[in-house]
Structure 1
Amino acid sequence: MTVARIEDAINAISRGEMVIVVDDEDRENEGDIIAASDSITPQQIAFMMNHARGLICVAMPGERLDALDIPLMVSRNTESLKTAFTVSVDYIPGTTTGISTTDRAKTVRA
């Protein structure tokens, strides 16, 4: 595994590549796969599903969530790290069940 500078990671993401960002051992002590949402591919979604085995999340400003009328999952967050999860969503135009890698990529890009 290569440890890269932040600038290298940003450049890789801007080229459409995925990077792994590892947090502090005093937090969750885990790695997150990060990719640009506007260029995410079904193949990248498949990689995340098959190798990361966790939730696929999209970081989004509160103003955008409000504009899309996407509420927080819980109104009173008791989670120790205060992660602000929202309800799950699927992009509707041009998708089927929302579960395929193609449908998930369309949802992330939307």
Structure 2
Amino acid sequence: MEGDVKLATVEEAVAALRGGRMIIVVDDEDRENEGDLVMAAEKATPEAVNFMLREGRGLLCVPLPRERAKRLQLKTMIEPPEDSHETAFTISVDARWGVSTGISAADRTRTILVLADPDAGPEDLTRPGHVFPLIAQPGGVLRRAGHTEAAVDLCWLAGLEPVGVICEIMN
């Protein structure tokens, strides 16, 4: 690596997520060759969401395990995914309660927190919305080396709900 770039260890990344901090996860140059801002969904704040949107400028998504997607009745937009990386986008959602239009950082944070809540059910969400859940492959990064699986795996390793928030960093 050139310059002063220091890659964190998995342990450092897990500690950062546990502490409510954001990390950057990069994938292989043979895959998407990009970095995503990543944080634990249960630690999301309007300020953090606004930072991700303003500085990352990519699509804000919420990776979660397949079991949670099933429980929340989140179905993929298309089955099987047709993109070359097989990203499992679901129908977009908003929180049913505690939001106005759904688009503000505060409203998106409320939706993210609902998706991270282990007691939430499908009745707690409306469709379509402004937050895009992504279904992680069972087996995590060992099965699919994507940002979706990395976020879920890292949150799980941190002892948190296995639900992340990711935003691609656009150049």
- Say which of 99, 118, 135 aligns to 1:95: 99
**Deviations 1:55-79 (CA, angstroms, capped at 9, x unpaired):** 1111111121111111101123221
Question: What SS class does the counterpart of residue 8 from structure 2 fall into?
Answer: coil
Displacement of 1:8 in angstroms is 0.2
- Say which of 75, 97, 104 aligns to 1:71: 75
- Say which of 29, 34, 40 aligns to 2:38: 34
In the alignment, the residues of structure 2 paired with residue 70 and residue 4 of structure 1 have an alpha-carbon distance, to the nearest angstrom, of 33
Asked if 1:109 corresponds to 2:113, the answer is: yes
* Percent identical residues: 45
Alignment: residue pair count = 110
- Say which of 59, 64, 68 aligns to 2:63: 59
User: TM-score, normalised to structure 1's length?
Assistant: 0.95
In the alignment, the residues of structure 1 paired with residue 14 and residue 108 of structure 2 have an alpha-carbon distance, to the nearest angstrom, of 23
In the alignment, the residues of structure 2 paired with residue 76 and residue 26 of structure 1 have an alpha-carbon distance, to the nearest angstrom, of 22
The RMSD of aligned alpha carbons is 1.0
In the alignment, the residues of structure 2 paired with residue 15 and residue 62 of structure 1 have an alpha-carbon distance, to the nearest angstrom, of 25
Q: Which residue of 1 aligns with 2:47?
A: 43
Structure whose residues are more often strand by fraction: 2
Alignment of 1:1-40 (within 5 A): 1-40=5-44
Displacement of 1:5 in angstroms is 0.7
In the alignment, the residues of structure 1 paired with residue 98 and residue 66 of structure 2 have an alpha-carbon distance, to the nearest angstrom, of 26
In the alignment, the residues of structure 1 paired with residue 90 and residue 71 of structure 2 have an alpha-carbon distance, to the nearest angstrom, of 14
In the alignment, the residues of structure 2 paired with residue 74 and residue 9 of structure 1 have an alpha-carbon distance, to the nearest angstrom, of 32
Question: What SS class does the counterpart of residue 62 from structure 2 fall into?
Answer: coil
Displacement of 1:92 in angstroms is 1.4
User: TM-score, normalised to structure 2's length?
Assistant: 0.62
In the alignment, the residues of structure 2 paired with residue 10 and residue 34 of structure 1 have an alpha-carbon distance, to the nearest angstrom, of 11
Displacement of 1:95 in angstroms is 0.6
In the alignment, the residues of structure 2 paired with residue 14 and residue 61 of structure 1 have an alpha-carbon distance, to the nearest angstrom, of 18
Structure 2 residues not aligned, in runs of 5+: 115-171
